[in-house]
Structure 1
Amino acid sequence: MHFIAKTNVLKPAFLVAALALGACSTNPGSGPLTDDVNNKIQTENAPAYELVPLNPATVKILHTHEPKGLAGVFTDRRPPASIVFGIGDVVSVTIFEAAAGGLFIPAEAGVRPGNYVTIPDQSVDNDGFITVPYAGQIKAAGRTAVEIQRSIIEKIGNRAIEPQAVVSMSSQRTQLISVLGEVNSPARYPASAAGAKDKVLDAITRAGGIKGQGFETWVMLERGGRRATVPFENLVMAPENNVYVRPDDSIYVYREQQKFMAFGGSGQSGEFNFDAWRINLGEAVGKAGGLLDGQADPSSVYLYRREPREVAAQLGIDVSKYTSETIPVIFNVNLRDPGGFFLTTKVMMKNGDIIYVSNSRNVETAKFLNFLRVIMATGSDAVNLSNDALIFRNNIKLAP
């Protein structure tokens, strides 16, 4: 009887040893282990990535690189040209003569006061012309008021008495600027005349200003089929992005909180709002509750993001391996090093960044030992149950 029980003990022992070999891969966890990230352990379909340590050199590259913004896309810094007339604009023409008896001023004294005549307003026709008495058709589309005035004077100069002309835009239906979205008074208004050059912030002010907080507001400028988007506060803090608006520009204002995610050994896991125009990596780790004292590996704090090709190249990455415009990069900062905290204050977070804090190796060891403890307890229970069954069977045989 005792020999059988000992033999049965060996079976759970072999089972424990077999399961122990695969325990590391079956342990529960919140993400990859430090060695998995550092050694680029990947599944078959996972995208390739680059691992870059955060040090003063890499932080300087990231700190000095800013997104292109409006200034990077719309590079013409010159103020917009003078307003020109377009098809459909309503034009007002007034003609002055130096004395009575000319084309427009009657010779009879007292018949008409003043020395000018105002022609009824007219729209620029589909061919781009307006009609002026005694001058005929005058090209208006694509020309400024001064250019139209000169044409009128040239046409009537040899018939009128020292004529002068004043041309103005009675109603502007082209050369408009649109401001839409999360503004208090969405508007489509005429572009400013020469000398009054509006910028993006001026256009938003014309539309009553933004509805929401600056840090959650984004501004998109569309011009000539090109678009660029910046946070609203970027227009204030980086004046070069507050570019001149031009006729036919469209400005779309919308609200969208910038967010990042945190996983692993951080105090809290989940999605977090910036609640500011920009925050640094240190502030983001703090928002996520810091590092769990009994779980996190301070030397294995990772920042996941996609970097533009030009930035990746400056970081020493071989970008020729990638065909996309952005490169997957994992930045590693060692917060066991006291200087690591200074580095985190220099790295600005981007919308959609992911922070991952790997578990300490001691935590993984404790998980493994607990796994063994459960398996061994299960094996012990099986042996005890087997022995109890043998004793019960033998007692039955010995019964009279």
Structure 2
Amino acid sequence: MRFPATSIALLTAALTGCTALPNAGPDPRAVETQAAVKVTSAKSKAVGIDYALVDLNKAVLNFVAETKATSLAGGFGGGRGGPPSLPLGVGDVVQVAVFESQAGGLFIPADAGSRPGNYVSLPQQTIERDGTISVPYAGRVRAAGRPVEQIQSEIEDLLANRAIEPQVLITKISSRSAQVAVLGDVRSPAKIELTEAGERVLDVISEAGGLSAPGAETYVTLQRSGRSGTIQYDHLVATPVENIYVAPGDTILVDRERRTYLAFGASGLNGRFDFEDSDLTLGEALGKAGGLLDSRADPAQVLLYRVVGKEFLSKLGVDVSRFTTATVPVIFRANLRDPAAFFAVQKFPMQDKDILYVSNSDSVELIKFLDVVNSVTSTASGVTSDAVSTRDAVRDLTR
């Protein structure tokens, strides 16, 4: 059945000017006209974000898998060589023992005789806020920030004129200054006391009970002296040079960042999906979202939205001079009508916060329009005249 021009004009007016069609919310025109203040974009109503459209092919796969992994060793060092020294510090508890070569000296009474272990152990003491400890007949000795051997030598010199060939031994009972705080998604957050053996990042995480979240979604941040560096946990485990020594006063933050992506359009399921404890490819992400709907999807228009570094597009030979920022919004398009594209989507890695959109086919959009046309031009009485049908439809819709 053909529609006269007058009927089409009336139909168009009815469809564009009527608010009686089914709607799940307020009419868009009402939203705009009733707003007290309107902040709108350009006349074209465009968002105004420049983006690049990249078709998924073999050349793209050569570069898309390249990711810049963050580094701890590069920012802090400490991955090679020995562990850091642990000088005494404020709050440490120490015990000082003084040995003399024979009895009758300053600390060993004369009646003790010559015996192995002519020594006296002084009471345990905490290094004061001023960084000193007290030794009888030697006075207050600065200890904080100095290695044990240096302090022992100074006390021996101070006692040399009173004791008989004094030898001093300082034992660290507990260390408050050489500790590392491990916080976040570990089973037992705690302050870990460091030893002269040297502890690395994974050592202190292990002492805190290990991870309480999947390693693939966990990031480790090291804070030291106002600086910080972050690394993905799995990369830390797989790269021994990144497992650097920790130092007194460090803070280790273990943080889980749930990796998710969004799926919209003509996929079997719409919504937010978790990567869970594994990496995903584009093909796996499509499968997780229910695949493509045969009745709606256009296989040639599978779109992935992502923000990438400008250097990525430069490697593809794209002129990026019009983009003023270091990152560029990119839409990757996969044409699944091409059989080879199924191999490509299985190699294309998904990233956290990607947006996957499956477009409707043109035939679906046409069917939508024809459904509306049919609902307007059909009448209960079955009148076949085009003019009468259109008139009745307009009358019904405008009541």
Scaled by the length of structure 1, the TM-score of the pair is: 0.77
Q: How far 1:309 moved relative to its partner?
A: 4.6
**Is 1:282 the counterpart of 2:283 in the alignment?**
yes
Aligned to 1:55: 57
Aligned to 2:7: 12
**Is 1:292 the counterpart of 2:293 in the alignment?**
yes
Give the Cα–Cα distance (whole angstroms) in 2 for the partners of residues 300 and 10 of structure 1: 35
Count of equivalent residues: 363
Structure 1 unaligned residues grouped into runs of 5+: 1-7, 23-27, 29-41, 389-400
**Greater displacement, 349-358 / 152-161:** 152-161
Q: How far 1:312 moved relative to its partner?
A: 5.1
Give the Cα–Cα distance (whole angstroms) in 2 for the partners of residues 207 and 226 of structure 1: 22
Q: How far 1:218 moved relative to its partner?
A: 4.2
Aligned to 1:395: none
Residues 309 and 327 in structure 1, CA contact (< 8 A), matched pair in contact too: yes
Aligned to 1:170: 173
Give the Cα–Cα distance (whole angstroms) in 1 for the partners of residues 194 and 219 of structure 2: 22
Aligned to 2:91: 88
| Per-residue CA distance 1:301-345 (angstroms, 9 max, x = gap) | 222122245545545555665565543222222222222222223
**Greater displacement, 166-175 / 372-381:** 372-381
Give the Cα–Cα distance (whole angstroms) in 2 for the partners of residues 364 and 303 of structure 1: 21
Q: 1:136 pairs with 122, 136, 139, which one?
A: 139
Residue 119 and residue 109 in structure 1: after superposition, are their counterparts in 2 closer, same or farther (change >3 A)?
closer
Aligned to 1:123: 126
Q: How does 1:1-400 map to 2 (within 5 A)?
A: 11-16=6-11, 43-68=45-70, 70-71=72-73, 73-78=75-80, 80-110=83-113, 114-157=117-160, 159-193=162-196, 196-311=197-312, 313-316=314-317, 321-322=322-323, 324=325, 326-377=327-378, 383-384=387-388
- 1:52 is aligned with what amino acid? V
Residue 383 and residue 232 in structure 1: after superposition, are their counterparts in 2 closer, same or farther (change >3 A)?
same
Residue 73 and residue 312 in structure 1: after superposition, are their counterparts in 2 closer, same or farther (change >3 A)?
farther
Q: How far 1:92 moved relative to its partner?
A: 1.7
Give the Cα–Cα distance (whole angstroms) in 2 for the partners of residues 381 and 102 of structure 1: 129
Q: CA RMSD in A?
A: 3.6
- 2:222 is aligned with what amino acid? L
Give the Cα–Cα distance (whole angstroms) in 1 for the partners of residues 306 and 130 of structure 2: 54
- 1:383 is aligned with what amino acid? A
| Per-residue CA distance 1:158-179 (angstroms, 9 max, x = gap) | 5543332222222211121112
Residue 340 and residue 130 in structure 1: after superposition, are their counterparts in 2 closer, same or farther (change >3 A)?
same
Residue 69 and residue 113 in structure 1: after superposition, are their counterparts in 2 closer, same or farther (change >3 A)?
closer
Residue 53 and residue 367 in structure 1: after superposition, are their counterparts in 2 closer, same or farther (change >3 A)?
same
Residue 151 and residue 370 in structure 1: after superposition, are their counterparts in 2 closer, same or farther (change >3 A)?
same
Residues 378 and 389 in structure 2, CA contact (< 8 A), matched pair in contact too: no
Residues 263 and 270 in structure 1, CA contact (< 8 A), matched pair in contact too: yes
Secondary structure at the residue paired with 2:279?
coil
- 1:57 is aligned with what amino acid? A
Q: How far 1:83 moved relative to its partner?
A: 0.8
Give the Cα–Cα distance (whole angstroms) in 1 for the partners of residues 118 and 390 of structure 2: 124
- 2:6 is aligned with what amino acid? K
Structure having the higher helix fraction is 1
Q: Give the percent of matched residue pairs that are identical in Structure 1 and Structure 2.
A: 45
Secondary structure at the residue paired with 2:110?
coil
Give the Cα–Cα distance (whole angstroms) in 2 for the partners of residues 160 and 141 of structure 1: 25
Secondary structure at the residue paired with 1:108?
helix
Residues 185 and 211 in structure 2, CA contact (< 8 A), matched pair in contact too: yes
Structure 2 unaligned residues grouped into runs of 5+: 18-22, 24-43, 393-399
- 1:62 is aligned with what amino acid? V
Residues 301 and 335 in structure 2, CA contact (< 8 A), matched pair in contact too: yes
